[in-house]
Structure 1
Amino acid sequence: MNRVLPQRFLAQSISVKRFFMAFAACLGLLFAAAPISAHAAETEATGTATGASGLPVPRFVSLKPARVNLRIGPGRDYPVSWLFMKAGLPVEIIQEYDNWRRIRDADGTEGWVYQSLLSGKRTAITAPWLKNDQGKMITMRRDANDTAAVAADIEPGVVGTVRQCTGQWCRMDVSGVRGWIKQSELWGVYPGEAFD
């Protein structure tokens, strides 16, 4: 036997259902935001964020293999949005989730890659923002100063291995040539960052 309910009862049950759904959604957001706000407070207090790996976020790393799938989400079930085709390309880790890293390349493309496809080896790109500027060259010097002898003139967009940074200059290997490039002319190191 079918039961017919009055229209008023149906409207009331739908609005009660909506109320509980909205209430559950608010609770979910509240619980999801609590760890985020705690993490934000920790970041604000210490000045650095720490990812799931225990390492600082953001940070620069490089691609390990020559072919790396960039996905729209942190998992193999997410579709591939881009395919990187160059080992050693510098990328910036901007977020971590479990074993997945959200990265950004020099062109601003963002997506997720599995952590084993990344290397801690530091590389940098010479002035990628000047790639379309015909005739513009980046000067590599033999020592870390403006008056040192020129070791090479390098086109914008060339990838090299970073060996050391002083906060002003970085010692690099680019296509077999070693020398110093101004840190401000590189993507793959932070302004003022120093390391050996």
Structure 2
Amino acid sequence: MTSRQILLGIALMAAMGPAVAQSDVELPYWASINVDEARMRKGPSPDVPVTWEYRRKDLPVKVVARFETWRKIEDPDGTTGWMAARLLSRTRTAIVTGGIQPMREEPSLSSAVAYRAQPGVVGRITDCKDGWCLFDVKGRKGWIQTDHIWGD
């Protein structure tokens, strides 16, 4: 085996890694876009037209179907289409919906407000319980009600 074949094999395994990791998860499941630019397509192939281009790393998406190394996703606006699995991560993120939402110190309405999040803000979720999720926006953490985010 030549060094070129070995490098090609390593590159192929790296590209397939995310797809294999997502192939055993029950549908639907939450994922996030893990690149700065990602294209949604009409079908599961690079040969079909692009319907949308995303330029927002960590945007939450819901994976609703699989076909080989492609995932059919739904975005926060309800748009559906196909995206290469390598562009997705299992990192849990969410986007704030509605108006300005409080991020509280504890998962309780009576807890002090630590921060306020504007609609459209994307953050990482590390824990969810009893209708609340711990929401981290670039190091600013607080508990937000699940009714006020999409992606939980």
Asked if Structure 1 and Structure 2 have the same fold, meaning a TM-score greater than 0.5 normalized by the shorter chain, the answer is yes
Aligned amino acid, residue 152 of structure 1? Y
Q: For 2:122, which of 159, 167, 172 is the aligned residue?
A: 159
- Hey, what does 1:86 align to over in structure 2? 56
Structure 2 counterpart of 1:108, from 78, 82, 88: 78
2:92 is matched with which residue: 114, 122, 141? 122
| C-alpha distance in 2 between matches for 1:172 and 1:101 | 26
Kindly indicate which of the two structures has a greater share of residues assigned to helix: 1
- RMSD value over aligned CA atoms? 1.1
1:63 corresponds to 2:26:
no
Specify the SS of the correspondent of 1:157: coil
Q: TM-score, normalised by structure 2?
A: 0.83
The amino acid across from 2:64 in the alignment is I
Q: Residue 178 of structure 1 corresponds to which residue in structure 2?
A: 141
Q: CA deviation at 1:176?
A: 2.6
Q: 2:136 is aligned with what amino acid? A: D
Query: Which of structure 1's runs of 4+ aligned residues deviate more than 2 A?
Result: none
**Normalising by structure 1, what TM-score?**
0.65
User: Which residue in the other structure is 1:44 paired with?
Assistant: none
Unaligned runs of 5+ in 2: 1-21
Task: Output the amino acid matched with 2:40.
Answer: L
Task: Give the SS at the match of 1:145.
Answer: coil
1: distance between equivalents of 2:88 and 2:130? 24
Tell me the CA shift for residue 151 of structure 1: 0.4
Q: Higher mean Cα deviation, 170-179 or 55-64? A: 170-179
Identity of aligned residues (%): 38
Structure with the greater relative contact order (CA < 8 A, sep ≥ 6): 1 or 2? Answer: 2
Shift of 1:156: 1.1
Q: Which has the larger radius of gyration?
A: 1
For these two proteins, the number of residue pairs brought into alignment is 131
